[in-house]
Amino acid sequence: MAAPILNGPFDMPMVRNFIPRKAKPFLYLFMVVGFQLSGGMYLGSLSEIYGEYSLMREDILMCLYANLTGMAIYFPLLFRMKFAFTNKSLLTFAACGILLCNVASMFVTCLPILWMICFIAGFLKIQGTFECMSNIQLWMSPNRDFTVFFPILHIVILGAIQLSTIIDVTLTYYYNWHMMHWFVIGYMLVNLFIIFTCLKSMMLMKRLPLYGIDWSGALLWAALVLQVAFLFNYGDWYDWWYSPVIKGLTTTIIATAIMIIWRMQTIRHPYIEPKVWSYKYFIPLIIVTILIEAFLATEHVLEEVFYEEGMHYVSLSILNFNWVALVSATVGCLFSLWWLNKMHYSYLRLIMLGMVFLFFYLVGFYLNINQNINMERLYLPIACRGFSCAVISISMFVCLEEIMTFPHFFQALGIFNMVHIVIGGVIGSAIYAQGLRYYITDNMIRYSGAIDKVAFSRSPFQFPHFMEGFVQQMQLASVKQIYGWVCYACLLLLLGFMLCDTPIRHGLKRIPAWTDVRKNVSTSLKRRNNKSLIEQQ
């Protein structure tokens, strides 16, 4: 059932009356940007962090995966929290928690505790984001239209990702890596000032208690995603299944998955219900998402090798690429808004268009991997990557909303984000790291026979200088080979989409009103209570 169109101007009763009515939504937009800029550890200052603490790159990357896992796991709880606590309580808890996590992560060096801090910061981040964006949804679309909501939401999310890196790199370059944490702490203090001075504590409807939530199931899902992330993040370091650590971890992953499946089949209200997996297009959507995220993982492995080893760019000089990605992602969001909401075109074809630009990005880097290129030649491929990332992500979210019924939508959204922001990327990164390891060794063996033996026997011969250039060329050749294989894989997936060019539906559903959502949740809880009483009798 669609929510009725509001009569009269949009207003937010939870904001105090001394704030102008038209400024109230922008107050929430300001706060949500702060929540999106937050995190546990910030990868723009990656080398400084593991240099100071003598940590490995994999250790800091695991902080990122823990943060993203916290975000993904929390999705099924978002509405229950909104119905159980006031808006002011949720925002205060999120802002205070993120502030404390940023303080703690600057001084904690024990990795398991640091990962736990990043995990907590992740679900606090998504809680603050959801509370802010859900309160201004009617301002963005009086009909609660997801084809409007998702593009605007992704402008905030994707824009904050790029801005976070830009701010982090700049502050680290001129000061140190702690400054990004202090920047977020200051932002959260401003958010708290706004919350306590400008907001009123209120709920949109009668309070619904936190009854029937499978907390053990949530912990099992979190453990499963973190174990998978650990496996593919540290797999190369431990030499994969030659190591007893990876063998034991694989066993625990299988055991955790079996326990999750058993609980899904046996308990009355599991964290993720089995019916979620029975929707017609859900599993194909998850598989496609993993593949696309694996393609996009080239940004974090192959691009970094090219920048650092091939072009010797410093972190500050790469900021131009982040600005290009920021602008192109914004353009992609606005284009998706026009495509879905104004023109009402098929979102399946929008996914195909995003994959076309993803293919252009991969081909662009394949053709430009060379030591003798200008930085400006990389702007176009990076713009294609930013545009495709925005378009594909928005269209996937809209597709997911369309194929799922509302009671299972946020559970499906949790699974989708597990593979969208964690599993797909970490699998792709592991594949590329293993590919680089193979191709660099193979190319050094192949091309070592082509060395000029006359020049090599000349005395004096600058052997260190020669080997540095030789290894660098082999690295670039290996990166180019892997980009070529990824181009082939992306093209095959795109051709598969073209063969299945049949839109699921032309008319998109509308999200139900808040009162309808609460009635559905309340009715389901009453049914569970009645069923429990009957069973006891």
Q: pLDDT for 143-188, tens place per residue?
A: 878 889 899 999 999 999 999 999 998 998 888 888 999 999 999 9
Any idea which residue has 């191709």 for tokens?
439
Cα–Cα dist 22/143, whole Å: 19
Chain-centroid distance, C-alpha 84: 27
Structure token pair of residue 66 = 């823990």
pLDDT tens track, the chain, 537 positions: 333 444 456 778 888 888 888 888 999 999 999 999 998 888 877 777 777 777 888 888 999 999 999 999 999 888 888 888 888 999 999 999 999 999 998 888 889 999 999 999 998 999 999 999 988 888 888 887 888 989 999 999 999 999 999 999 899 888 888 899 999 999 999 999 999 999 888 877 777 777 778 889 999 999 999 999 999 999 989 989 999 999 999 999 999 999 999 998 888 888 999 899 988 889 999 999 999 999 999 988 888 888 887 777 777 778 889 999 999 999 999 999 999 888 888 888 889 999 999 999 999 999 988 877 888 889 999 999 999 999 999 999 998 888 888 888 889 999 999 999 999 999 999 999 999 999 988 888 887 766 655 555 665 655 566 666 777 888 888 999 999 999 999 999 998 888 775 444 445 555 566 566 666 666 766 666 666 556 555
Q: Who contacts 139 (Cβ-Cβ below 8 Å, separation ≥6)? A: 10, 12, 25
Question: Which residue matches tokens 């509302």?
Answer: 406
3-class SS at 397? helix
Q: Which helix (H) or strand (E) holds 383?
A: helix 379-403
| Entry pTM | 0.87
Residue 2's pLDDT is 38
Buried b (16+ CB within 10 A) or exposed e, 320-344: bbbebbbebbbebbebbbebbbeee
Q: Is there a contact between 342 and 481 (Cβ–Cβ < 8 Å)?
A: no
Tell the residue number behind the tokens 């996937």, with chain if given.
Answer: 396
Question: DSSP assignment, residue 15?
Answer: B
Tally the residues of the chain. Answer: 537
Cis upstream peptide for 284 (omega within 30°): no
The pLDDT score that the predictor gives to residue 253 is 95
CB atoms near residue 47 (< 10 Å): 15
**Tens of pLDDT along 232-278?**
999 989 989 999 999 999 999 999 999 999 998 888 888 999 899 98
Q: What is the pLDDT of residue 532?
A: 58
Of 187, 172, 155, nearest in space to 39 by CA: 187
CA proximity to 70, closest of 243, 299, 226: 226
> b vs e for 157-168, b when ≥16 Cβ sit within 10 Å of the residue's Cβ?
bbbbbbbbbbbb
pLDDT of residue 381: 94
Give the span between the Cα atoms of 145 and 150, in whole angstroms: 9
Helix (H, G, I), strand (E, B) or coil at 206: coil
Residue type, 339: W
Q: Which residues have a Cβ under 8 Å from the Cβ of 160 and sit 6 or more positions away?
A: 33, 36, 37
**Residue 453 pLDDT:** 58
pLDDT of residue 506: 45
What CA–CA distance (Å, rounded) separates 71 from 121?
8
- Residue 252: is it exposed, middle or buried by C-beta count within 10 angstroms (0-12/13-18/19+)? middle
